[in-house]
Amino acid sequence: MLKRSLGSLEVSVVGIGCNNFGARLDADATKDVVDAALEAGINFFDTADIYGGTKSEEFLGVALGARRSEVVIATKFGMPIDDDHFGAEPAYVRQACEDSLARLGTDHIDLYQLHAPDDRVPIADTLGALHELVTAGKVREIGCSNLNVAQLREAQAAAGDGPKFVSVQNQYSLLARDPERDGVLDACEELGLGFLPFYPLANGLLTGKVRPGQPIPEGSRLAKMPADRSAHWLGDRLQAQVGALINYAQEIEVPLLTLAFSWLLSHPEVSSVIAGASNPDQVVANAAAVRKLSTEQIAALNVLTD
């Protein structure tokens, strides 16, 4: 498995998004996915304190066990766990980190990420608390999620001589190309950030299993999604793009899954594609879905999804 740099970390170009752990997957099923990932050479696991009602971190830590030193663990703080646990105030940042360390069963977090901006708190204050955690050895690198260009630049300036964000995690896929248009990808190059795309498979639309005009596969994320959310993914524009991508994949005899992963990784700013998996077969498929695309193939994909 190829690796790319993320600050001082080296992460596999395919990672595991752990939002299924503790939600769709129990502890045993989580271990099956983790075992398959390690066997496939994946070393990067991205979770959050809110995933699985806080169970994701716990299940991940148990599944890794003595193999903790072999992997890079990323987790996040800031989204509401309940009415009392949320935000980016320094005291909460410190407590959230302690709570995540306990759930993960580890003494350090490799990449600790602000899950969303908190307009109530100056970013300098949040960064100060994160600096303390890095100095204490509880966190190796820090990152962020759902920040725009202005917020990224503000954070870079506010960090001063202290630790700076090394990553930003925003939505990005063939079907959601906003980071190209809103300047976040360019800002990554400017500020030296690694980009981590979430929803890289567009909630399953880019797996090749969802075909326009056909029933949504039972048990899939889209099938279980509330109608008000799935309406976006099943709308006419995205369905037309999916149909065009499926036709192109068949034409060049490359699986759509491979095109989805490899197109993302054709952007040097992307450090790792962190996709969720609900069983070992999906892990194996994701791990194998990376190849170098030709300039012509990348151009064609850009046109089909413009």
Q: What pLDDT is recorded for position 211?
A: 83
In which band, very low, low, confident or very high, does the pLDDT at 248 lie, cut at 50, 70 and 90? very high
DSSP states along 170-218: EE-BTTB-HHHHSSHHHHHHHHTPEEEEESTTGGGTTSS---TTSPPPT
Q: What pLDDT is recorded for position 221?
A: 73
Is residue 114 in some structural domain?
A: yes
In which band, very low, low, confident or very high, does the pLDDT at 215 lie, cut at 50, 70 and 90? confident
Is residue 93 in some structural domain?
A: yes
Q: What pLDDT is recorded for position 285?
A: 96
CB 127 within 8 A of CB 155: yes
Q: Which pTM value belongs to this model?
A: 0.95
CA pseudo-torsion sign 108, 111, 115, 119: positive
Is residue 242 in some structural domain?
A: no
Question: What end-to-end distance do the CA atoms of the chain give, in Å?
Answer: 30
The pLDDT tens digits of the residues spanning 149-194 come to: 999 999 999 999 999 999 999 999 999 999 999 999 999 999 999 9
Q: What pLDDT is recorded for position 264?
A: 98
* Alpha-carbon gap, residue 184 to 189, rounded angstroms: 9
Is residue 113 in some structural domain?
A: yes
- pLDDT of 298 higher than 80: yes
- pLDDT of 21 higher than 80: yes
Specify the DSSP element, H or E, that contains 51.
none
- How many percent of the chain have pLDDT more than 70? 100
The catalytic residue positions are 51
* Residue 205 CB contacts under 8 Å (≥ 6 apart), including other chains: 175, 222, 233, 238, 242
What CATH number is given to the structural domain containing 183? 3.20.20.100
The whole-number average pLDDT for the span 288-306 is 97
In which band, very low, low, confident or very high, does the pLDDT at 136 lie, cut at 50, 70 and 90? very high
The pLDDT tens digits of the residues spanning 42-101 come to: 999 999 999 999 999 999 999 999 999 999 999 999 999 999 999 999 999 999 999 999
Q: What pLDDT is recorded for position 74?
A: 98
Is residue 284 in some structural domain?
A: yes
Mean pLDDT taken over the chain: 96
> How many independent structural domains does the chain possess?
1
Q: What pLDDT is recorded for position 206?
A: 96
Is residue 103 in some structural domain?
A: yes
Is residue 161 in some structural domain?
A: yes
3-class SS of residue 169: strand
Q: What pLDDT is recorded for position 151?
A: 98
Is residue 223 in some structural domain?
A: no
Q: What pLDDT is recorded for position 222?
A: 78
* Alpha-carbon gap, residue 206 to 203, rounded angstroms: 8
Per the structure, the complete domain to which residue 15 belongs is given by 3-204+256-291
